[in-house]
Structure 1
Amino acid sequence: MDSLYPVVFFDAIMVKSRESGQTENKAVYLALGVNMEGRKELLGMWIAESEGAKFWFNVITEIKNRGVNDILIACIDGLKGFPEAINAVFPKAEIQLCIVPMIRNSLKYVPHKDSKAAITLKRCRAFRMLPG
């Protein structure tokens, strides 16, 4: 693990987990760093019952304890308390909101009659972002 990462993406995805015959949702926390050479490195993966800023604080603290001294830009979703959790551990890190949650949240304000067109535009934008 490097001591400096120019960019680190933090995100959690919900997955279904089967334990003792029961299926339940779990949050898989991911930290993906981009090193000084521009290569992506998975800094860690953690599983919890749900996504929350308190758990993210523990994740970020663990990353710091494992040798990361600084993050220049932290890309996150709009989870309440997340920026404060990052700045508590990496006070100089700039916070950048990921565009996907921003687009998703902006669709809430589109009138119902225009929602189909807005969703189509969203898909076109996502398609343009695909590599190759």
Structure 2
Amino acid sequence: MQILKRLLSLDELETKWGEKYPIVLESWRSKWELLSAYFRYPKAIRKPIYTTNAVEAVHRQFRTLTKTKGAFPNENSLLKLLYIGINQVSNKWTMPISNWALTIAQLSIYFKGRLDGIIKI
């Protein structure tokens, strides 16, 4: 039942955005079996997966820092800008994830035994 509901949601998404983003929707359809695995997990697990990707956060910060600059006189000036910017935002990255206890509990259920020795539950 859930699979059918998700496929219907994908159809609705394609109806709304398919004309504007045909390549994306085609890609999602062709890889739906892999993409839909994400939806097997409860929201407590899904949310940290899509909101805490450290690499994405760094890339987003780099884009924010560099998008208004036309050019850099040399590589060192770019590196200095990125270094200062990362130092300024790194304080935000130490904040705890909301509902982390619930997330850990769900992870320990779905991945029984894999967290043993890493996190005490």
Query: Is TM more than 0.5 here?
Result: no
Q: Which has the larger radius of gyration?
A: 2
| The structure with more strand, counted as a fraction of residues | 1
Name the TM-score, length of structure 1 as normaliser. Answer: 0.22
| The structure with more helix, counted as a fraction of residues | 2
Of the two structures, which has the highest relative contact order with CA contacts closer than 8 Å and spacing of 6 or more? 2
Name the TM-score, length of structure 2 as normaliser. Answer: 0.24
